[in-house]
Amino acid sequence: MTLPRVRLFLLGGTITMTAASNSTSGVVPSVDADALCRAVPGLDQVAEIDARTEQMTASGSLTFQHGFDLAAEIIKADNSGDADGFVIVQGTDTLEEMAFMLDCLLDIKKPVVVTGAMRNPTQISADGPANILAAVTCAATNSVGLAGVVVVLNDDIHSARFVTKTHSGNVDTFQSPETGPVGRVVEGSVRIFSIPVTGPKLTIPRGRDMPKIALITASLGDDGYLLGLLENSDCQGLVIEAFGAGHLPEKYLDVLDGMTKKIPVILSSRVAAGHIFRETYGFQGSEIDLINRGLIPSGILKGPKARILLTILVMSGASREQIKNTFEVWDL
Is residue 13 involved in binding ligand DAS (CB under 6 A)?
yes
Q: Which of 53, 59, 154, 326 binds ligand DAS (CB under 6 A)?
A: 59
Q: Which residue's CB is nearer to ligand DAS, number 14 or number 298?
A: 14
User: Has 217 been annotated as catalytic?
Assistant: no
Task: Write phi, then psi, for 251 (nearest 5 degrees).
Answer: -65, -15
d(CA 219, CA 43): 47
| Those residues with Cβ within 8 angstroms of residue 284's Cβ, 6 or more apart along the chain or in another chain | 250, 253
CB of 14 to ligand DAS, least distance (A): 3
**HSE of 182, CA atoms in CB hemisphere, 13 A:** 23
Q: How far is CA 161 from the centre of its chain?
A: 8
**Cα angle 287-293-297, degrees, rounded to a multiple of 5:** 45
Stretch that binds ligand DAS, among 8-16, 30-38, 75-83, 132-140 (CB under 6 A): 8-16
Is residue 116 involved in binding ligand DAS (CB under 6 A)?
yes
Q: Which of 34, 93, 222, 231 binds ligand DAS (CB under 6 A)?
A: 93
Stretch that binds ligand DAS, among 10-18, 33-41, 131-139, 239-247 (CB under 6 A): 10-18
CB of 20 to ligand DAS, least distance (A): 15
Is residue 92 involved in binding ligand DAS (CB under 6 A)?
yes
Q: Which residues pair with 10 in a beta bridge?
A: 53, 89
Closest to 181 measured CA to CA, from 197, 165, 189, 193: 193
Binding mask 72-91 for ligand DAS (x = CB under 6 A): -------------------x
Q: Which residue's CB is nearer to ligand DAS, number 65 or number 168?
A: 168
Q: Which residue's CB is nearer to ligand DAS, number 98 or number 144?
A: 98
Q: Which residue's CB is nearer to ligand DAS, number 118 or number 136?
A: 118
Please write down the HEC assignment for all residues of 99-167: HHHHHHHCCCCCCEEEECCCCCCCCCCCCHHHHHHHHHHHHCCHHHHHHCCEEEECCEEEECCCCEECC
Q: Which residue's CB is nearer to ligand DAS, number 15 or number 312?
A: 15
CB of 306 to ligand DAS, least distance (A): 20
d(CA 55, CA 21): 19
Q: Which residue's CB is nearer to ligand DAS, number 82 or number 172?
A: 172
Is residue 135 involved in binding ligand DAS (CB under 6 A)?
no
Residue in 14, 16, 141, 179 annotated catalytic: 14
CB of 61 to ligand DAS, least distance (A): 8
Using CB under 6 A, which residues numbered 157 to 196 contact ligand DAS? Answer: none
d(CA 199, CA 207): 24
218 residue type, one letter? A
d(CA 238, CA 269): 13
d(CA 216, CA 218): 7
Q: Which of 6, 51, 58, 99 binds ligand DAS (CB under 6 A)?
A: 58
Is residue 14 involved in binding ligand DAS (CB under 6 A)?
yes
Per DSSP, 316 falls in state T
Residues making contact with ligand DAS (CB under 6 A): 12-14, 58-59, 91-93, 116, 118
Q: Any idea which residues carry the catalytic annotation?
A: 14
